[in-house]
Amino acid sequence: MFKRAIYKEIWDELAADKAMVFISGARQAGKTVFAREIIAGEFKNNVYFNWDIIRDKKKLIEDPAFFQKVNRRDNSAPLVIFDEIHKYKNWKNYLKGVYDEFSKEYQFLVSGSGRLDIYQKGGDSLAGRYLQMHLFPFTIAELSAKRRAFADFIKNPIEGFDLNPAKATSGLWDALFELGGFPEPFIKGKKTFWNKWSQAYAKQILQEDIRSVIDLKNVDTVEILFSLVPSKTGSPLSINNIAQDLRVAFETVKNWLTIFERFYLVFRISPWTNKVSRAITKEKKAYLFNYPLIQEEGARFENMVALELLRAVYNWNERGYGRFSLHYIRNKEKTEVDFVITDNNRPFLLAETKLSDEEPAKSLLNFQSVFNIPAVQFVNKEGIFKYIRNGSNKALIVTAHRWLSCLP
């Protein structure tokens, strides 16, 4: 079983600063297993609570401070894990009270397959009482264990990475391309299992998880909407066009897409602009966490890169390295670059994906000339490593897994 070293580092840092840490992520991304890894490595005294287990629900309702009654092995502070507690109607008020009364005596890990940081149902604010981390499905950087130090990366992201085209990295990338990064199908290593797992996974979230916390009507139409996303990956998503196709209101589709994001079925990235208010109104691109659903190989490849970059951006922010975000960039002439990473809304790195084209994209070079920042073009083809001069800058053309496996 793969140890989740990236997230263990983040957990250690956050837990040292705050008694309550929220771990959010897609269902079956490995949150519960990760929590048990933490218990095994650090906490002799621990309590595991899961809202989906009836006896645990009863325990909390009858005695909100039930965790005090567990026998301890020593005098060290216990870790109390609340799993899927966001499904409890009064979860925010409950955790607020628990933190205020017990934060000096206990450590709390709160995990869930919904967006704990933005989910609004549940009452009083938890502001200032927790730190947040996100656990992603496997990515090539996590699996390869070749990550660069962030301090080195930030100085020059297109130089200094491992130039060795390791066969192991290539094999891992091919497996991710075929099976995705969710631990169970990835570890099983069989496309037939992924097919069965994937069908059950989408239905479980759409028909059970979402409906357990949201009054969702027209489930059939929602399932149709989700089925459309794989064919629209990598292009600005027109909510208006989808609404017309499905014969529903614009706001309805907008709300459904937001629900998909909250439950980690999709993630969306917005176009970069100097004026944040303008970016809010522009069409976003949608990508999938379970990206093998995408049939078109170029779009699937772009989705894989998007998830790798998103994982890095979230992790950097959670470790306090800056205020990074992931966008795409497009001008009035509709010239576009797939990705731009920003820090404090200032472009830091441009990235383009090409399935097999080794020639640098003109749009990538043009935008690099405008911003004077590093640029990289990822190719899903072995043996590619080139630097292309672009005025006073240079752009890197590289086999995707060679660079992404070193991403901090």
Distance from C-alpha of 163 to C-alpha of 133, rounded to nearest angstrom: 31
> Model confidence over 74-97: pLDDT tens digits?
999 999 999 988 888 888 899 999
211 residue type, one letter: R
Please give the pLDDT value at position 275: 67
Of all residues in the chain, the percent with pLDDT exceeding 70 is 93
Band (208; pLDDT cuts 50, 70, 90): confident
Please give the pLDDT value at position 70: 85
Please give the pLDDT value at position 106: 96
* Domain residue extents for the chain: 5-134, 140-404
Please give the pLDDT value at position 122: 43
Q: What is the mean pLDDT of the chain?
A: 90
> Model confidence over 3-60: pLDDT tens digits?
788 999 999 999 999 999 999 999 999 998 998 888 887 899 999 999 989 999 999 9
**CATH H-level, domain 5-134: superfamily:** P-loop containing nucleotide triphosphate hydrolases (3.40.50.300)
| Both tokens assigned to 206 | 């759409």
